[in-house]
Each structure stands twice: as structure tokens, then as C-alpha cells.
Structure 1
Amino acid sequence: MDIKLELIGVPVTDIDRAKAFYEQVGFNADHDITVSDEIRFVQMTPPGSACSIAFGKGITGMAPGALDNMQVVVADIEEAHATLSGRGIDVSPIDDQPWGSFVYFADPDGNRWAVQQTTPRTAG
């Protein structure tokens, strides 16, 4: 049996600000639908990912900023760092660990993300 992770709810305070931020990071805006006065659904997907994030009104009961260490994987951490920095994202310096190289950033609500290159830059 396959079990595929497809959607993760991200708690935010300002839907339009969050959408603009994730577009700045490079996520694709798949859907932005107002269902009713109580529900607005925004779905965004990182390029190349099978899993998306969703935020909006009536999407999650978590407090804004409650997500800690959401993780995405890239082939080249230096390219990811340069791209994110070039887009105006406040990204950490590259952190080399034995299990990979990482950069970190947070969205405007404080939801934290890790970007990992699974092979450390220092390997080899």
C-alpha cells in the first residue's frame, strides 16, 4: 500500500502576505479559492514537489507560526542559498552537518523551514 503525503496546513495570520512570501520563495500558487465567509483555501507547491502546503481561513486550528522545521530537499545547497538570498529571503548561512548541508528561513508568521542538500558539501 502506498501512502503519499500531499498537503500540509500552514498556520498564518495574513493570507495575502503569506501567499506573496511563498511566491517570493518560489512556490507555485495552485489554488486560491474563497469557499464561503468562513473558508478561503490557498494551496502552493514548491517546484518539483509532490507535496503542497495550504493556508487560509478555516484551514487549521494551529496557532500562526506553530510549524517548526518543515523541510524541503535540494540538489545544490549553494544554489538554493544564492537563489533565496537573491529573492530577498532572510536565509541563514549554510550549516554543514554530517548528514547534510542546510539553510534555514522562516515565513512572516515564524513558521520555520529547513532546506537540505542530503549529501554534505564537506563529503568527498
Structure 2
Amino acid sequence: MNWTLEVVVVPVSDVDRAKEFYAERLGFAVDHDTKMGDDGRIVQLTPPGSGCSIVIGNGPLPTMEPGSLKGIQLVVPDLEEARAELVERGVEVSEITKMGDNPRPTPHPLDNVGFLFFDDPDGNSWSVQQISDRA
């Protein structure tokens, strides 16, 4: 039995502002933006190359405090390139941090141990890890 993670609900206070951040600043594809009745709205966005999407919105979504989601992690093959892209798109992002020693020899010193961090406009926290070659 395969169990795949397909969607993570990200709690936000302003759906339009969050949609702009994730689509325009991070480059996530807008899969759909659906209104449900007078007060409900679901927006699904997917990071480039990802099999897992995020959902923002209001109405029938689980109730969480905006900004309460911490530790969502993206993986990229080149952390320096990813950081440069985020900075160019206007995202406030940390410097690259090396966390520990690589558990196995890799061609790049940041593989597995290189990270950067940023928050969305509501304070939901994201990390980005470099993995350019999987074992």
C-alpha cells in the first residue's frame, strides 16, 4: 500500500494576499481557485515539480490560526540558485545555513545539510533543503 502526501492546508488570514505570495513570489502553479457559496473559497497551489500541493482558503477548511503552521519543507537541487530566485522575487529569505555534517559523501557540500528559511505573510514558516542526488 502506497501512502502519498498530496495536500497540506496552510492557514492564512487573507486569501488574495496569500495567493499572490505563493503564486507570484514563490512561483507555485495555481491549480484552481474555487468559490463555494457566499463565504467559501479554496485555492490549491503546487510548487514546481512537486507531487504535493498546498491549499489556502476559508469556509470548509480545517480551522487553524493563521501563521500557526511551522516547518513545512521544500527540497531543491541547488540551494544557491533557489535563494537567488526567491530574493529576485522579493521574498525575505535567510542566508544559507549548513546544519551539521553530511551523512554520506556528496559532490556538493550543501547536499542534505544546506537549508534556508522564510515565512509567508501570515508567519507560516518554511524551510528549503538542498538534495541534488538521492541515494
Answer yes or no: same fold by TM over 0.5: yes
SS in 2 for 1:61: coil
Q: Which amino acid is the alignment partner of residue 55 of structure 1?
A: I
The aligned counterpart of 1:45 is 46
Q: Does 1:112 align with 2:107?
A: no
Query: Which residues of 2 match residues 1-124 of structure 1 at below 5 A?
Result: 1-23=1-23, 24-58=25-59, 59-97=61-99, 98=101, 99-118=112-131
The whole-number CA distance in structure 2 between the counterparts of 1:2 and 1:36 is: 35
Size of the alignment, in residue pairs? 119
RMSD: 1.0
SS in 2 for 1:11: coil
Q: Does the CA-based 8 Å contact 2:76-2:130 persist in structure 1?
A: yes
The SS at the match of 2:55 is: strand
Secondary structure of 1:104's counterpart equals: strand
- Give the aligned residue type for 1:76: D
Give the TM-score of the pair, scaled to structure 1.
Answer: 0.92
| Local SS of the residue matching 1:20 | helix
Cα deviation per residue 1:69-109 (whole Å; 9 max; x = unaligned)?
Answer: 10010000000010000110000000011341011000000
Structure 1 gap segments, 5+ residues each: 120-124
- Code of the residue aligned with 1:70 in structure 2: it is I
Percent identity of the aligned residues? 51
Runs of 5+ in structure 2 lacking a partner? 102-111
Work out whether residues 11 and 66 of structure 1, in 8 Å CA contact, stay in contact via their aligned partners in 2: yes
Work out whether residues 7 and 52 of structure 1, in 8 Å CA contact, stay in contact via their aligned partners in 2: yes
Q: Deviations over 1:37-95 (max 9, x none)?
A: 23200000000000000010122201000100100100000000100001100000000
